[in-house]
Amino acid sequence: MPIHDFSARLGTGEERRLADYRGKVLLIVNVASKCGFTPQYKGLQALYEQFQSRGFEILAFPCDQFGHQEPGSDAEIATFCSDTYGVTFPLFAKIEVNGNNAHPLYVWLKEQKGGLLGDGIKWNFTKFLVDQAGAVRARFAPTTKPESLAREVAELL
């Protein structure tokens, strides 16, 4: 099943088909508002502003599976991201990325690119880089700063 066959609900409640992103380079990230890595929102927004006009999108998926670090509602998450970090990229509704209730997109992403210590997502801000054809090209650990991905993004554009 290609990535463009999936859909997910935005934080606003609207269903978004990933086919809408066909032909774009994607960075898909599971995010949280109360995590040590939360300041990465600033780097993600900078990367988005740098490359969006060239066909780059960041898809952020809030997740509360790691240390209860995303306790808010979808509306609270959106307000926090906008007010604190000026986020303008799409924020999806809160999902699970591991376990029996993992969102099908994340089941697929983990099948495409496993992690160093198994396929499961280990923490917030794990990043998947997807090319214009919908192939997962790389997986980056939560510790990887978004701004360090500029070269990889540019190469795919």
Cα–Cα distance measured from residue 157 to residue 155, given in angstroms and rounded to the nearest whole number: 6
Would the pLDDT of 120 be above 90? Answer: no
**Residue 30 in tokens:** 């599971």
Taking a C-beta distance cutoff of 8 angstroms, is the pair 47, 85 a contact?
A: no
Task: Note the pLDDT tens digit of each residue in 32-76.
Answer: 999 998 999 999 999 999 999 999 999 999 999 999 999 999 999
Identify the pLDDT of residue 116. 64
Strand order in the sheet with 56-62: 56-62, 25-31, 127-130, 136-140
Would the pLDDT of 115 be above 80? Answer: no
Task: Please give the share of the chain, as a percent, with pLDDT higher than 70.
Answer: 98
With both helix axes pointing from N to C terminus, report the angle between 40-51 and 74-85 in degrees, rounded to the nearest 10.
Answer: 80
Region 68-96 average pLDDT: 95
Q: Which residues are catalytic?
A: 35
Taking a C-beta distance cutoff of 8 angstroms, is the pair 74, 94 a contact?
A: yes
Would the pLDDT of 117 be above 90? Answer: no
Q: Which domains does the chain have, with CATH numbers?
A: 3-156 (3.40.30.10)
Region 109-124 average pLDDT: 84
> Among candidates 48, 38, 29, which has minimal Cα distance to 150?
48
Region 79-89 average pLDDT: 96
Beta bridge partners of 138: 129
Would the pLDDT of 139 be above 80? Answer: yes
